[in-house]
Amino acid sequence: MKVYVLDKGIVLAGKGWEIQQKLKEFRRKYVLVGDWINDVHGPAKTTELKRGK
């Protein structure tokens, strides 16, 4: 079973029953996939737009 957390999603590789078990495990901690990704990569950096003269 392998879990790859990418910038905009996740990839689960393994047997069907392994993937189901892993999803059940992470369902207890995270509501959305985005929450899972942000937890791994840290909060998203936002850049402020500055007004030029």
> What's residue 53's pLDDT?
61
> What's residue 43's pLDDT?
65
Q: Residue 26 domain-assigned?
A: yes
Q: Residue 46 domain-assigned?
A: no
pTM: 0.61
Q: Residue 49 domain-assigned?
A: no
How far apart are alpha carbons 42 and 37 in whole angstroms? 8
Cβ-contact 10, 37 below 8 angstroms: yes
> What's residue 12's pLDDT?
92
> What's residue 42's pLDDT?
75
pLDDT in tens, the chain (53 residues): 998 888 778 899 999 999 999 989 988 988 888 888 888 877 655 555 566 66
- Give Cα separations from 7 to 13, 37, 44, 53 (angstroms): 17, 7, 10, 35
Q: Residue 48 domain-assigned?
A: no
Q: Residue 50 domain-assigned?
A: no
Q: Which domain, by its residues, includes 10?
A: 2-41
Tally of structural domains, the chain:
1
